[in-house]
Structure 1
Amino acid sequence: MRKIVAGLFMSLDGIVDAHEISPHEWTTDEMMERMGKGLGQADAVLFGSRTYALLERFWRHQSDDSPMANFLNRSTKYVVSSKLDRLDWQPATLIRGELIEEIAKLKSGPGRNIQIPGSPMLVRALLREGLLDELILNVVPVVVGSGARLFEDFAEPVRLRLERSTAFSNGVVSLTYRSVAPAAE
């Protein structure tokens, strides 16, 4: 079964959408090496529509000399959206309908891991539904104060197990969590 692996940059106070936590500003060569290993285990990308549009504008026109550009441009992209009618950044498939059913189909299909770069609302929904297998949080040493938080509106606890933590020279702490199945009652 395929795993869904999400990676996000987040401020110390849990904000995931602020300019101050831009991956371009905080990513180091050391972090890129680790990200490259993760990309090597994946063959597809899952996006929300906003993240798809944002990343398409930049990465679609980058040379495949960059491992990230090569991965994003060549991998199948699955885009969750009720608003988009077409996807110009190919290969790509639009996902509509019941999110839980569609993601479960993707996970049970053939292939390697599915990466989610960003897309905090999608990550939040998959966490809530128990469909996210691994969550990599790159916590940057800045307090933003306001903005969208990853962990909002959870009616039930979501249990995660810390698999790995790494402190990078720029102060970013990378935390890798795995989903933990709820305890049987």
Structure 2
Amino acid sequence: MAKLTLTTFMTLDGVMQAPGGTEEDRTDGFEYGGWSVPFADEEFGRFMDEVFGRVDSFLLGRRTYEIFAAYWPQVTDENDPIASRLNALPKYVMSRTLDKAEWNNSTVIRGDLTEEVNRLKQQPGREVQVHGSARLAQSLIALGLVDEVNLLVFPVFLGKGRRLFPDGGTPTAFELTGHRTTSTGVTIQTYRPTGPAEFGTFALGE
């Protein structure tokens, strides 16, 4: 049985939109695309290689699928640990507007998100991975469907843009299961949900 993991690049103020390029996603007039690029280093690359070394399939939103499908098929180096897996492994696109997915080994799914995710988890394998896919990621978090989260927090503040964590959903506690910091100050944190969030008070007793 596979687990669903979410890997997200995020600014200090929670923005996850268009980390990889100026033209990646200008939705809602976003002008700050490519904010992660100045912070890339060997440790960052090593971590991403580790993540892609555990994947057996991908679950993507329509927008991220289209961005990936326009870029990664052009990277034909079979030894590239990211491109080789993205180009070859099964990719499931959650979309009600996409008619067909032509990138190799891609399938459009349109059913109930919880049912579709649970069906993917029942397949043998290690990880069904979600990368980018802001709206999909927000829905998965709100529905409590994510088994593990990799947050790569970049030391930059943008002040606008689509953020990862949604309003609504069930308050949930997480356990930190791994952490490291790159030479450029990117903190890489891995969390898994442990159950409902708990609440208390620091107020002085009577």
TM over 0.5: yes
Counterpart of 1:161? 175
Mapping 1:70-85, distance limit 5 Å: 70-85=84-99
Question: 1: CA distance between counterparts of 2:52 and 2:173?
Answer: 25
Tell me how far 1:134 sits from its aligned partner. Answer: 0.7
1:139 and 2:153 equivalent?
Answer: yes
Paired residue secondary structure (1:146): coil
CA, structure 1 residues 142+20, in 2 after alignment: closer, same or farther (shift >3 Å)? farther
Matches within 5 A, 1:41-52: 41-52=54-65
1:59 equivalent in structure 2: 72
Q: Per-residue displacement from partner, 1:48-104 (whole Å, max 9, x unpaired)? A: 000000111110111133211101001100100000011111101111110100111
Counterparts of 1:61 and 1:73, CA distance in 2:
10
Q: Say whether the 8 Å CA contact 1:9–1:21 is kept in structure 2.
A: no
Select the structure that is richer in helix: 1
Contact 1:11–1:21 (Cα < 8 Å) also in 2: no
Contact 1:9 / 1:22 at 8 angstroms: preserved in 2? Answer: no
Residue identity opposite 2:40 in structure 1: T
Distance in 1 of aligned mates of 2:54 and 2:133: 20
Is the Cα contact below 8 Å between 1:21 and 1:140 reproduced in 2?
A: no
1:91 and 2:100 are equivalent in the alignment? no
Deviation at 1:20, TM superposition (A): 5.0
Higher RCO (CA < 8 A, seq sep 6+): 1
- 8 A Cα contact 2:5 2:150, kept in partner: yes
Superposed CA RMSD in Å reads 1.6
Q: Which residue of 2 aligns with 1:17?
A: 17
Please tell me whether the aligned partners of residues 20 and 144 of structure 1 are also in contact (alpha carbons under 8 angstroms). Answer: no
Task: Give the SS at the match of 1:153.
Answer: coil
Q: Which runs of 4+ in 1 moved over 6 A?
A: none
**Bigger mean CA deviation after superposition, 129-138 or 60-69:** 60-69
- Is 1:30 paired with 2:30? no
Q: Contact conserved, 1:13 with 1:143, CA < 8 A, in 2?
A: yes
Aligned CA distance change for structure 1 residues 79 and 22 (closer, same or farther; 3 Å):
farther
CA distance in 1, matches of 2:15, 2:52: 25
Q: CA shift at 1:26, angstroms?
A: 3.0
Note if contact 2:59-2:91 (Cα within 8 Å) is conserved in structure 1. yes
Relative distance call for 1:182 and 1:169 in structure 2 (3 A) is: same
The offset of 1:125, in angstroms, is 1.0
Matched pairs, number: 183
Contact 1:20/1:142, CA 8 A, preserved across alignment: no
Structure 2: gaps of 5 or more residues: 19-31, 198-206
Q: Is the 8 A contact 2:142 2:166 kept in 1?
A: no
| Matches of 1:104 and 1:155, distance apart in 2 | 18
> What is the CA–CA distance in structure 2 between the aligned matches of 1:25 and 1:57, rounded to whole Å?
22
Whole-Å Cα distance in 2 between the matches of residues 114 and 25 of structure 1? 29
